[in-house]
């Protein structure tokens, strides 16, 4: 009798329905009586376990009924989908590797084909074409000038050329020759000589085999260059002959001298000479003259890592190209210079007469 | 039409919190094929799939009910992870080790949730056993009173006691026995 009353009290205590003063009394009793405390603890556990158990049973029951309800309905269409997913999960890595390998091989092939198509560009590894990237040098120079004395800032210059090379007149009618690689990718081309004469020119004929291009002055007010002081040599020049050139490796005209060191050019190229003149980017397209003032070639490039090995296309190929052009264009007012005014003059005299016919070729793109 | 009702995970969880059986049913049906496929393709049977899946859903359900769920992923992933773990354990108990599990989903490791659930399971097992051993009418009496929360008066009528005091006395005796049975085999791991 007594026991179940205690139980009732415990239950009411656990349920929190005990009145305040009874609760206080009960709690005091709990503190003083560890056996009772144990009892309460046990009681609580059993009750909780039982209640959880009941809830769980109910939940199980619910789930079971859901399950049977589901099974009577249509059976998963999704299993096909998950099968595919498993397959994908299993092989994803392999597939990724395969995909990257195939991508790599595709682009590798494309790249190598590109490389094979451009033997000339491959050559540049050792063969340097002497066209000059202007902007870079200009910037460097400006930096140097500013460093020396901080001059007040110059007015913003008109857009400067992207590349430059050298060119020279081959006919008084406004024809200029230069190297093809100088004007490669050009939008517009301007020429300018030491005297400050400026003309806009366009390309009229190109021969990439010889790396030569003929340009023509477009200016309507152009009246001709006047009589050219030099002629073109048709025969081959001899080994050891003293030669010189004029060009624009920088803003001003530069003279360079040396001798003809070989009758063939880069890797036995018979269309050019090897010469021993120190050359720099920007010299490309300049004339190569001998002692008597005959043009014997057109400066073209040099060999990397080799001292004093520069190359110039032989003048006979230039002449061949001129006749090619005449043939193609039909009626053309084009007259090659016939008389040489330079032979017998001293070198300095020769240069003075020459320099008006040498142009810097400025390429914009 | 139900689909629109429980389109998002949040909606499903909210439904379960509010004791909405349709939310539970929807959730149950939605993910069962995934688990079933997983169990069957990893050397299980239909019945085992059902068993494991129900356990997984129970874990999820109780987590939500207890407000202790911090879901950092989709319900789908959570269920998959729980069931995966339960199934691996089941396989280990059967002495079959899965050398290569074929997964169709990503999964989490769930370090805490599953052991907690196992502890609960053990308790329920003991409780079920204790109730079985208790025998009638004690079992019904206790279940009616504590689980179904019927009033003392109803119980008196149902079991044919003369008054509530006898019933209470009887209940006390039953509970006493249940406690003994329960605590002889259950030692809480605390």
Domain boundary among B87, B110, B133: B110
Same domain? B20 vs B82: yes
Distance CA B113, CA B115 (A): 6
Indicate whether B131 belongs to any domain. yes
ipTM of the predicted assembly exceeds 0.90: no
**C-beta atoms of B143 and A54 within 8 A:** yes
Task: Tell me how far apart the alpha carbons of residues B120 and A66 are, in angstroms, rounded to a whole number.
Answer: 23
- A53·B41 Cβ contact <8 A: no
Sign of the four-CA dihedral B98, B56, A65, A51: positive
CB contact at 8 A, A210 and A203: no
Q: What pLDDT is recorded for position A1?
A: 41
Whether residue B103 sits in one domain with residue B74: yes
For each of chain A's 365 residues, which pLDDT tens digit applies?
446 667 777 777 777 777 777 777 777 777 777 777 777 777 777 777 777 788 888 888 888 888 887 777 655 455 566 677 778 877 888 999 999 999 999 999 999 998 887 765 545 557 777 777 776 666 777 777 766 655 454 445 566 777 889 999 988 888 999 998 888 888 889 998 888 888 899 998 888 888 899 999 988 888 888 888 898 988 888 899 999 999 988 888 899 999 999 988 888 888 899 999 888 888 889 999 998 889 999 998 888 777 778 899 999 999 998 888 888 887 777 888 888 888 888 889 889 888 889 999 988 87
Q: What is the pLDDT of residue A168?
A: 92
The domain of B174 spans 114-185
Domain with B152 in it: what CATH number? 1.10.10.10
Same domain, B172 and B97: no
Q: Is residue B98 part of a domain?
A: yes
> Are the beta carbons of A313 and A141 closer than 8 angstroms?
no
Domain count, chain B: 2
Intervals of chain B under pLDDT 50: 1-3, 190
- Please write the tens of the pLDDT for every residue from B147-167: 777 777 777 777 777 777 777
Which of B50, B147, B182 lies closest to A46 in CB terms?
B182
> Does residue B98 sit in the same domain as residue B163?
no
Dihedral sign computed on CA atoms, order A115, A120, A123, A124: negative
Q: What is the pLDDT at residue B2?
A: 45
d(CA A24, nearest CA chain B) in Å = 24
Q: What pLDDT sits at residue B1?
A: 41
Residue A67 DSSP label: H
Residue A148: its pLDDT value, please? Answer: 66
Task: Identify all chain A residues contacting B38, using CB atoms and an 8 Å cutoff.
Answer: 82
The CB density around residue A278, as the number of other CB atoms within 10 Å, is 14
A128-365 adopts what CATH topology? Thrombin, subunit H (2.40.10)
DSSP letter string, chain B: -HHHHT-SHHHHHHHHHTT-HHHHHHHHHHHHHHHHHHHHHTT--HHHHHHHHHHHHHHHHHHHHTT-----S-HHHHHHHHHHHHHHHHHHHTT---SS---SS-----TTHHHHHHHHHHHHHHHHHHHHHH-TTHHHHHIIIIIS---HHHHHHHHT-SSHHHHHHHHHHHHHHHHHHHHHH-----
Chain B residue with minimum CA distance to A90: B102
Same domain, yes or no: B35 and B97: yes
Among A4, A46, A69, the residue with its CB nearest the CB of B168 is: A4
């Amino acid at each position: 009798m007594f026991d179940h009353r205690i139980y009732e009290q415990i239950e009411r205590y656990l349920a929190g329905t005990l009145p305040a003063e009874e609760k206080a009394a009960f709690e005091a009793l709990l503190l003083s009586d560890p056996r009772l405390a144990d009892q309460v603890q046990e009681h609580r556990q059993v009750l909780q376990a039982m209640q959880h158990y009941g809830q769980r049973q109910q939940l199980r029951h619910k789930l079971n009924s859901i399950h049977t309800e589901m099974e009577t309905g249509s059976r998963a269409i999704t299993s096909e989908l998950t099968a595919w997913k498993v397959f994908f999960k299993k092989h994803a890595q392999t597939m990724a590797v395969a995909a990257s390998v195939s991508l790599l091989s595709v682009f590798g092939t494309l790249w190598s084909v590109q490389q094979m198509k451009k033997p000339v560009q491959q050559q540049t590894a050792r063969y340097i074409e002497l066209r000059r990237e202007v902007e870079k040098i200009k910037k460097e120079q400006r930096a140097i000038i500013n460093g020396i004395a901080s001059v007040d800032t110059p007015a913003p210059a008109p857009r400067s050329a992207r590349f430059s090379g050298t060119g020279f007149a081959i006919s008084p009618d406004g024809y200029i020759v230069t190297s093809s690689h100088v004007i490669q990718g050009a939008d517009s081309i301007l020429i300018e000589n030491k005297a400050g004469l400026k003309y806009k020119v366009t390309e009229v004929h190109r021969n990439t085999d010889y790396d030569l291009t003929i340009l023509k002055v477009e200016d309507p007010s152009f009246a001709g260059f006047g009589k050219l002081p030099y002629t073109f040599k048709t025969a081959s020049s001899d080994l050891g002959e003293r030669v010189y050139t004029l060009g624009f490796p920088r803003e001003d005209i530069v003279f360079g001298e040396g001798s003809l060191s070989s009758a063939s050019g880069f890797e036995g190229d018979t269309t050019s000479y090897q010469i021993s003149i120190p050359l720099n980017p920007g010299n490309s397209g300049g004339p190569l003259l001998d002692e008597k003032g005959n043009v014997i070639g057109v400066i073209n490039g040099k060999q990397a890592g080799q001292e004093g090995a520069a190359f110039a296309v032989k003048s006979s190929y230039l002449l061949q190209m001129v006749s090619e052009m005449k043939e193609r264009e039909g009626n053309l007012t084009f007259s090659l210079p016939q008389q040489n005014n330079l032979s017998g003059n001293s070198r300095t005299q020769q240069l003075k007469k020459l320099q008006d016919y040498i142009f810097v070729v400025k390429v914009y793109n | 039409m139900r689909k629109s009702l429980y389109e998002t995970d949040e909606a499903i969880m909210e439904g379960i919190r509010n004791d909405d059986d349709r939310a539970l049913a929807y959730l149950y049906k939605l993910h069962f094929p995934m688990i079933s496929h997983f169990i069957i393709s990893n050397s299980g049977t239909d019945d085992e799939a059902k068993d494991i899946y129900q356990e997984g859903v129970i874990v999820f359900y109780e987590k939500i009910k207890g407000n202790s769920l911090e879901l950092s992923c989709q319900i789908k992933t959570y269920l998959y992870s729980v069931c995966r773990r339960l199934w691996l354990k089941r396989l280990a108990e059967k002495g079959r080790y899965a050398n290569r599990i074929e997964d169709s989903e990503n999964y989490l490791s769930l370090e805490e949730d599953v052991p907690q659930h196992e502890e609960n399971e053990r308790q329920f097992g003991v409780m079920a056993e204790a109730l079985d051993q208790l025998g009638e009418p004690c079992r019904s009496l206790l279940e009616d009173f504590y689980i179904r929360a019927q009033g003392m008066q109803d119980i008196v009528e149902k079991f044919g006691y003369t008054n509530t005091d006898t019933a209470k006395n009887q209940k006390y005796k039953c509970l006493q026995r249940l406690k003994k049975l329960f605590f002889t085999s259950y030692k809480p791991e605390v």
